């Protein structure tokens, strides 16, 4: 390793940011740098920041200030670097470099330049870079799961969202590139691959002139990995062709993450999501009919400027009617640089909080009923951790995505990173509880499957 400095990385934000972090780690390790999790012993700390909403920015700023107070040399990467490059340099003299979302592939060169005394800004105004299967990567997830980016950037311009400004327009990888990386991950023993992008249902539109998600899913069906999960599937892109591919490809989970944001046509139009207005009911019923065992997760924003009691009541009834498996609710966060920031009729925070709490309260018995429907079944569970005190195993079934959904608590013995059949004995609003299935449990499962 010679006299190369030691580098630590502090990761913040979403799983898209996580993949960037993993590539930064891979590139540094390939170049011979020592990477340490202990920020105290590191010569440099790379902070991969998030700038999606106010609370994420506050967490990023807190992390940066703490490191600056500890006199650490800081390299700021990610969305906040892209968003506030000049201010960060002005306000944090400890920052030796800022690196944008489309430039993290230059991290080795940035460190080399910093080492000779340069203060580096490496930020493309319009990010165009996307890593592929040849880019070094050091995974930071549990051994059984990996994220796989199928595209980067976004062509939509939702009124509340800063992401296209930070990540650029959509750029898809080829099906061949994605399959090659999936095969690499499968060879490493990965049991679950999670496909991510800003809008996964638009995958391939920029590259092939039309969305090619159905073709991608079928190609991934040939990869020897048991679970393929898809995130960020806009409902309007779940065409009969895509739904057929989900239904007919055995390792593609019928788990659909639908970022709906609202149900009322007027609010959706104000959000600049006009393609979605008025079709949610029909589309969701169509999804349920085409994929009867679909697990539906969605997210909503309450308190968008101008949202009336009537608009919120429409959303409340929509959630009540469709009984989603998992629901996340966020209060509107005004982002400078987005059209929604200057809209009239901004709502007080207490009104937004009340609406969020009301929706979550409505959803809880629905989630409980869905989870209780698993009691008495034997389901496959990916074991991800062991409770340090009780020795109890903790994992997820196919119904649960990492970080955002529930967990399965399992009694018995199993290897971390393995999938095991688990007999579900009880459930609460968020989680399931059971034991590693016995032969009798498995015989019962087979008899139920055979009808």
The annotation places the binding site for [4Fe-4S] cluster at 14, 50, 79, 154, 158, 161
* DSSP letter string, 103-122: -GGGHHHHHHHHHTT--EEE
Determine whether 134 is exposed, middle or buried from the number of CB atoms within 10 Å of its CB (0-12, 13-18, 19+): exposed
CA distance 314 to 277: 13
CA distance 13 to 82: 14
Query: What backbone torsions phi and psi does residue 182 show, to the nearest 5 degrees?
Result: -60, -40
CB 204 within 8 A of CB 214: no
CA distance 269 to 185: 41
Determine whether 59 is exposed, middle or buried from the number of CB atoms within 10 Å of its CB (0-12, 13-18, 19+): middle
Q: State the SS3 of 262-287.
A: CCCHHHHHHCCCCCCCCCHHHHHHHH
Binding residues: 14, 50, 79, 154, 158, 161
Cα angle value 42/118/85 (rounded, 5°): 85
Query: What backbone torsions phi and psi does residue 435 show, to the nearest 5 degrees?
Result: -135, 155
* DSSP letter string, 142-189: -TTEEEEE-EES-S---TT--HHHHH-S-EEPPHHHHHHHHHHHHHTT
* DSSP letter string, 431-442: -EEEEEPPHHHH
Element housing 378 (H / E): strand 378-386
Query: Quick one: tokens of 76?
Result: 């700021």
């Amino acid at each position: 390793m010679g006299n190369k400095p030691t580098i630590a990385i502090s990761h913040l934000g979403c799983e898209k940011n996580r993949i960037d972090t993993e590539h930064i780690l891979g590139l540094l390790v390939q170049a011979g740098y020592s990477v340490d999790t202990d920020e105290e012993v590191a010569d440099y700390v790379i902070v991969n920041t998030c700038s999606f909403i106010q609370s994420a920015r506050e967490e990023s700023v807190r992390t940066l200030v703490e490191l600056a107070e500890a006199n650490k040399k800081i390299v700021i990467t990610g969305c906040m670097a892209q968003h506030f490059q000049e201010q960060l340099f002005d306000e944090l003299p400890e920052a030796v470099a800022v690196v944008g979302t489309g430039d993290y592939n230059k991290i080795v060169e940035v460190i080399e330049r910093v080492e000779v005394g340069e203060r580096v800004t490496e930020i493309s105004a319009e990010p165009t870079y996307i890593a592929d299967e040849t880019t070094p990567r050091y995974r930071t997830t549990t051994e059984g799961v990996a994220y796989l980016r199928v595209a980067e950037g976004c062509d939509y311009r939702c009124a509340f969202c800063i992401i296209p400004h930070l990540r650029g327009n959509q750029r898809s990888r080829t099906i061949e590139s994605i399959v090659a990386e999936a095969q690499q991950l499968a060879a490493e023993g990965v049991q679950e691959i999670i496909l991510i992008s800003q809008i996964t249902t638009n995958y391939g539109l920029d590259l092939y002139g039309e969305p090619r998600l159905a073709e991608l899913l079928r190609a991934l069906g040939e990869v020897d990995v048991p679970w393929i999960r898809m995130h960020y599937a806009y409902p309007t892109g779940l065409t009969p062709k895509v739904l057929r591919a989900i239904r007919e490809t055995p390792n593609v989970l019928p788990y659909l993450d639908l970022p709906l944001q609202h149900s009322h046509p007027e609010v959706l139009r104000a959000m600049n999501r006009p393609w979605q207005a008025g079709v949610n009911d029909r589309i969701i019923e169509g999804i349920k009919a085409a994929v009867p065992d679909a697990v539906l997760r969605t997210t909503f924003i309450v308190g968008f400027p101008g949202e009336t009691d009537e608009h919120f009541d429409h959303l409340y009834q929509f959630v009540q009617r469709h009984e989603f498996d998992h629901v996340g609710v966020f209060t509107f966060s005004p982002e400078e640089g987005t059209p929604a920031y200057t809209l009239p009729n901004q709502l007080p925070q207490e009104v937004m909080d009340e609406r969020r709490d009301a929706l979550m309260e409505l959803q809880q018995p629905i989630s409980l009923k869905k989870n209780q429907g698993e009691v008495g079944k034997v389901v496959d569970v990916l074991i991800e951790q062991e409770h340090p005190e009780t020795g109890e195993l903790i994992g997820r079934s196919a119904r649960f995505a990492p970080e955002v959904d529930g967990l399965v608590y399992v009694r018995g013995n199993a290897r971390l990173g393995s999938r095991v059949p688990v007999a579900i004995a009880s459930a609460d609003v968020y989680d399931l509880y059971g034991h590693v299935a016995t032969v009798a449990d498995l015989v019962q499962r087979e008899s139920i499957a055979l009808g």
